Amino acid sequence: MDNLSKIKNLSNKFYLLLSFLLVAIPLLNIGFWSLINYLPETLINVNTTGSAIVPNKLSVQLQVIGFIVSLLPLSALLYCIMNIRKLFSFYKDGVIFSFEHVILFKRTATALLLWVILKIIYDSAVSVIFTFGNPPGQRLLKVGFSSGEVTALLVGGIIFIIAWVMDEGRILNEEKELTI
């Protein structure tokens, strides 16, 4: 099996995995917010520092607000996955260098950078939602920037550079094909 065949084969597997994630991640998000009052507190507080002083259930209104706010980073994540999935669709078809690759790399990087901003907004909103039942003066607004966001910024920057390099490679490849 030559390298291109291996790339096509592995790309097809990643394409299928990313297709599954495009369905599973939104379903998990819906499940999380609809079942939040029944989930163990350790699962709910895994990524938040906001916790209720007096244990209480989230009202349906707060659940809906939480779900709507969660759509912000979720939409950026799904957009990122859709772009990566499209890249693998090109690779599984044997298309390695094209202008569309450059665009997809740039869109993926932009989605990651957007995810960082929206994740900070989401985490802040969730800290308020989870502590809304606390007495006045005991509610919490958390604004944070963690290693996950730093990693996404670095990866997004690296992907932008890769897009730039891919574009230069594409240009060189086109010039080579035009040379007699």
Residue 116 CB contacts under 8 Å (≥ 6 apart), including other chains: 149, 152, 153, 156
Note whether 77 and 4 are within 8 A (CB). no
Distance CA 32, CA 28 (A): 6
The rounded mean pLDDT for the chain is: 87
Buried b (16+ CB within 10 A) or exposed e, 104-124: bbbbbbbbbbbbbebbbebbb
pLDDT of residue 52: 52
Helices (H), 93-146: 99-131
Q: Both tokens of residue 120?
A: 């900070």
What is the predicted pLDDT for the residue at 44?
A: 65
Confidence (pLDDT) at 48: 52
- The pLDDT assigned to 111 comes to 97
DSSP designation for 36: G
Q: Which tens digit of pLDDT belongs to each residue from 3-47?
A: 989 999 999 999 999 999 999 999 999 999 999 888 877 666 555
Higher per-residue pLDDT: 78 or 39 = 78
